[in-house]
Amino acid sequence: MLSSMYSGISGLTANTQRMAVIGDNIANVNTMGYKGSILSFESLINPSVGGFTGNEIGSGVMLGDVSYDWNQGTIQRTTNPYDMAIAGSGFFMVKDASGDTFYTRDGEFNFDASGNLTTSSGMVVQGCVYANPPANPPVPVPITIDPTKYQNVTVDSDGVYWAETIATPPVKTALFQAVVCDTTDRSVMAKNSNNLYSKTTPGAMEKIGVPNSNGLGSVDPESIEMSNVDIAKEFVNMITAQRAFSACSKVITTSDEILQELVNMKR
């Protein structure tokens, strides 16, 4: 009876964790570039005194892994000319004030007063100096356009940043191009706050290039990739988690009633 109670407790714990993941997904249904989390469970089996014999009874369930749904989110048009969405695989590369590198699918970009292209949280977006043909692989540098020298910045469908010189007459010049990068093993990507990801293993991304090269995705200017969370699917997951939680609670109460009957027999 005690083993069944502990199995029920493990089920309560597991389904509480599942509800936490479901709640996080639903809360981020409108978060730009958000990728839904997927929780997996594993059976818990304790070996017999002499080791595993093949006749063991399970001892419940435990958390297996939290992975991410990397499917493409819906691309939505915006009114900001510097917004950018990735269609396909890859991440934008950004750096914080300390020079640490992070990755994001959230292309909500803008130029600050110093001419740096930044994310909504102030990270500096990395690109490469424009070249035709582009370097392979490109060398990432901050996308910085001096507002005292250039005006009327635009971005084309290849992710190239054009600007006009502040001169008479103005000359339209290609200055930078967006850079997209990706890893061959997405399991090394960990979520951070502010729609960022970091690598859990040392080293740079295995694939890096300009958009639509090296198997990387293309870019869509003046657009944003929305969250890929399916709200209907999450509601179904919520119902099944609730029912599983109730069933595990019933296992505990039933085991308690059987123990009580045994105690009463002794009396």
The model's confidence at residue 213, banded by pLDDT at 50, 70 and 90, is: very high
**Measured distance CA(81)–CA(99) in Å, rounded:** 26
- pLDDT higher than 70, residue 171: yes
Q: Do residues 88 and 179 both lie within one domain? A: yes
- 89-92 long-range contacts (CB < 8 A, ≥24 apart) are 89/182, 89/215, 89/216, 89/217, 90/180, 90/181, 90/182, 90/207, 90/216, 90/217, 91/180, 91/181, 91/182, 91/197, 91/205, 92/125, 92/126, 92/178, 92/179, 92/180
Which range (6-15, 47-56, 222-231) has the least confidence? 47-56
Rounded to an integer, the average pLDDT of 210-222 is: 95
Q: Do residues 87 and 211 both lie within one domain? A: yes
Number of domains in the chain: 2
152: Cα separation from own chain's centroid: 33
Token representation of residue 143: 């996308």
Q: Do residues 168 and 247 both lie within one domain? A: no
Percentage of residues in the chain having pLDDT higher than 90: 77
Q: Do residues 245 and 168 both lie within one domain? A: no
Q: Do residues 90 and 204 both lie within one domain? A: yes
Q: What range defines the domain where residue 179 resides?
A: 75-225
pLDDT at res. 4: 86
The model's confidence at residue 49, banded by pLDDT at 50, 70 and 90, is: low
Residues 238-252 have pLDDT tens digits of 999 999 999 999 999
